[in-house]
Every structure is written in C-alpha cells, then in structure tokens.
Amino acid sequence: MLENFSFRTITEYLPLFGYGFAATLWLSIVSFAGALAVGITLCAMNLQRSQALKVPAKIYIDVIRATPLLAQLYFLYFGLPRLGVVLPELFIGILALSLNSGAYVAEIIRAGILSISRGQVEAGIASGMTYFQRMRLVVLPQAFRVTIPPLLGQAIVLVKDSALLSLISVSELTRAGQLLASDRFMPAEGFITTAACYLALYYGLKTLAASSERWLRLRPTGNLK
Amino acid sequence: MIWQQLQSLIGSYPLALRGLAMTIALSLLSLILGTLIGFFLGVLRTKGNRLIIRVIGAWVDLIRGTPFLVQIFLIFFILPELGIELDAFTAGIIALTNLAACFICEIVAAGIRSVPTGQVEAALASGLSQWHRMRQVVLPQAMRVALPPLVGQYVLLIKDSSVVSAIGLTDLTRVGWLVVQRVPNGLLVFAIVGAGYFVVCYPLILLARRLEKNMNAAHGEVQL
C-alpha cells in the first residue's frame, strides 16, 4: 500500500524536479516557436495555387498526422546519425516536436484563414489591394483572433508530448520522475510528483486559453475600429 | 550494403508481424472498451447528478493534463504497490482504455449538449420516458456531431498505443527499436514502422474528413 509514501524523499529530489520543470518549460517554448515557423511555412505553401508547393505540404501534413510521434522521434534519433548528422538528444527532441506540432499548427492556421468570409477578400480586391496587403491588413488580423485558442490547445498537447523525449534520455520532467523511481525504487513518489508538475503547466495554459477566449469575445471587432 | 540490410529486414518479418498484431490488439480492445465506457460517462456527464458530473470532470481534467507516458508509468508501477498484480499488456489496456474513455466522454457530452432543448421538450411533451428520450431523440442527433471527432480520436488512440512500448510491450514501435539494434539503418526501419501506422490511420483520417463534410452538408439541409 501507499502508507509509506515518502514526502521527505520528494523534498530531497526537489532540485532535480525543479530542473526538470524548467527544462520541460523552455524546451516546450523553443519547440512551439519552431512549430509556429514550420506551421506558417506549410500553411503558406498549402494555400498557394501552384501544385508544386501545395502537394508536398499536403503530403507532409498527412504523413505526420497518420504516424505516431514516438516513431517520428526514433526516425530522427536513429536516422540522423546515418546521414552523418550527429546532434545531441535535446536538439533531436526539439526538432521532432517542432516538425510534428508544425503539421497541426498549419491546419489550425489554415482553418483560421479559411474562416474569413470571401466577401472580406473581395472587398480587399475591390479596394485595389495587392495580395500581400490583403493578407496583412484584412485576412491575417482577423484569422489571428480565431487561431489563438486552438493554438494554445496545441501548446498543451506539445507540453505533454515532450514527455516522450525522456525515452531518448533528454533530462526533463518525466526523466526526473524515472530517476527517482529507479534510484530509490519509489515509482509512486517519482511519477506522482511528475504528474503534479505537468498538471501545474496544464492548468496554467488552460487558464491562459480561457482568458484569451474571454478577451477575444469582449473585443469582437477590435481591429476594425 | 543496402541489399544485405534489406535481406536482414525481410528476415525479421515474423517479429514485425507480432508487433503489428500487438498494436492491433491493443488499439482494438481499448477502442471498444473505451467507446463503451466513454459513452456511458458522456451521458452521465450531461444527465447525472451534480456530484457525479464534478467527479467525472475532475478525472477527465487529470487525464488531459498529464502526458500519456506518465499515466502508463503510474498504472504499471503503482497498481502493484496497491496489491493489484498486472502484466504489461493489462497495464497498457487499462491506460489506453482510460485515455480513450476520457476523451470520448467529452466528445459525447459535447454532442449531447449540441442538441437543441426544444427536441428534448418535444420528446417530453410526447410522453417519452427518459430512456427513450435519450435513445431515440437525443443520441441519434448527438451522434451526428460526435462522429467526426470520434473517428479522429480513434486515430489518436492508435498512435498513442505506440507509447506502451516504454513498458516493454513488443508493439510495432518496439519492434522497430529492436530491429534497429541489428540493422543500423534508422531511416529505413522507422520509415517502414511509420508506413505500418500510416496504412491504418490514413484511411481513418480520410473517413473523419468525409464525415465532417457530410455533416456540414446535412446541417445545411436542415437549415433550409
């Protein structure tokens, strides 16, 4: 039973968990920035008329969505050295997370852009705006508002997915739990503390998503003033 | 060189078949169990008493807020401490079923909430019992909204089943991991592993898209 649950051991390992928490946090932030870059590029390719740009983006998105992140991670982890690219595990992890989340981000942004009614674009054309002016001044400011809540949802998924990096021995939160579990044979203490740390991140992001939604609802046409 | 690797890859096909069988068994079992439990919880979530709603909501949040890998470790290493002996396969099934049930519960609950109150009131006025209201009026309409995300959830479930390789189950991903120790060509090995998942998941993704399109079309009809 769990009656000998040792809080003292957890306090002993607290610095390790603090380090893991910080590592998960910053590697998630870096990966999310990477995912945004990948996603915006893919989405821009996907919205072009030229098939040469559109088809590769579509194939990439479908392949990423139909295969597990763990297989993608191992693909890079075992595959990159084969190509002569030797990177530390941490970089491989961040790369895998960015490439994986990027496909989902691309779909979110595309849905946001397509949600802008055709009339807005036509009005832009009628006012003599160029493609980039229409995008920058009409479509993107409105699409931006629609995409914020689902993007934060994707950020939550990314933070949770980053736990898989522990399997290629990146030292982050789950790894900290594994260390405590194997050093002291205390899996309960290790993994419950890990879970609690992830829950803290989850509730933080969830509150942010809820408040952003409220903020956006209060200013339905804020950018059109 | 590449030829030798291919030959040794072909040699390990019994292992690959075993891995594929394991992935299919895990996904299918937890998919069926998770759907049944998820539906039950989803109905309770909208119609049950307040305490039950709270408890389900808290549990769903707990599962949504933690990585699946950590959930598997918790189940696999902590249930034995509580006196429940279980092997890796059972632990994997419990973890996947629990995950699926939580997400499906939310999907079903959202579907039920999307049914206009007028429908329930009309059913009440026609003297239908609570069971009949649910089964004949609310659920058929809720299903229409719930079906596309439900299929999407099945794709996630199949993909998440790869994580159980962390507790030593030889599923498709684990097989890739084992083979890559002998055939040092990660690109080739994991491309094949990925292809294995792709042939199962991609048709489901297409199905979800099709369902969503049909649903939008059907809704358009109703609004006319």
Q: What is the pLDDT of residue A84?
A: 83
Distance CA A88, CA A107 (A): 30
From A199's Cα to the closest Cα of chain B, the distance in A is 5
Task: Determine the distance in angstroms separating the CA of A166 from the nearest CA of chain B, rounded to an integer.
Answer: 9
CB contact under 8 A, B186 and A1: no
The pLDDT tens digits of the residues spanning A170-218 come to 999 999 998 888 888 888 888 999 999 999 999 999 999 888 888 887 7
Q: What is the CA radius of gyration of chain B?
A: 21
User: Which chain A residues are Cβ-neighbours of B180 within 8 angstroms?
Assistant: 74, 78
Closest CA relative to residue B160, chosen from A78, A173, A164, A99: A164
Please give the Cα distance from B130 to B111 (Å, whole number). 18
What pLDDT is attached to residue B78?
A: 84
pLDDT digits (tens, 9 = 90+) for B42-94: 999 888 788 999 999 999 999 999 999 999 999 998 888 777 888 899 999 99
Using left for φ > 0, alpha for ψ between -120 and 50, and beta otherwise, residue A185 falls in left
CATH number corresponding to A2-224: 1.10.3720.10
- Inspect the interface and report whether the beta carbons of A66 and B155 lie closer than 8 Å: yes
Nearest-neighbour CA in chain B from A148: distance (Å): 19
Domain boundaries, chain A: 2-224
Chain B CB contacts of A203 under 8 Å are 65
Q: Which CATH class is domain B2-223?
A: mainly alpha
Q: Which of A74, A157, A167 to mutate to test the interface with B (most CBs of B within 10 A)?
A: A74
Query: Are A66 and B187 a contacting pair at CB < 8 A?
Result: no
| Interchain pair B70, A83: CB under 8 A | no
Give the residues of chain A that fall short of pLDDT 50. Answer: 222, 224-225
Question: Which of B27, B33, B30, B68 lies closest to B197 in space, CA to CA?
Answer: B27
Q: Which two tokens stand for residue A150?
A: 């689902």
Task: Give me the interface pTM, i.e. the ipTM.
Answer: 0.88
The angle, 0 to 180 degrees and rounded to 10, between the axes of the packed helices A51-65 and A89-114 is 120
A163 Cβ neighbours under 8 A, 6+ residues apart: A172, A173, A174, A198, B67, B68, B69, B70
Asked whether the beta carbons of A35 and A95 are under 8 A apart, the reply is no
Q: What is the pLDDT of residues B142-171, one digit of tens each?
A: 888 888 899 999 999 999 999 999 998 899
What residues 120-149 of chain B have any CB closer than 8 A to a CB of chain A?
A: none
Residues of A in contact with B162 (CB under 8 A): 68-71
Name the residue among A65, A71, A199 with its Cβ closest to that of B66.
A199
Distance CA B33, CA B41 (A): 12
Q: How far apart are CA A167 and CA A165, in angstroms?
A: 5
pLDDT of B107 reads 93
Q: Which pLDDT score, from 0 to 100, does residue B218 have?
A: 64
Q: pLDDT value at position A219?
A: 67
Interface test with B, best of A1, A17, A27, A70 (most B CBs within 10 A): A70
Query: Of A1, A71, A161, which has the smallest distance from its Cβ to B197's Cβ?
Result: A71
Q: Encode pLDDT of B90-126 as tens digits.
A: 999 999 999 999 999 999 999 999 888 888 889 989 9
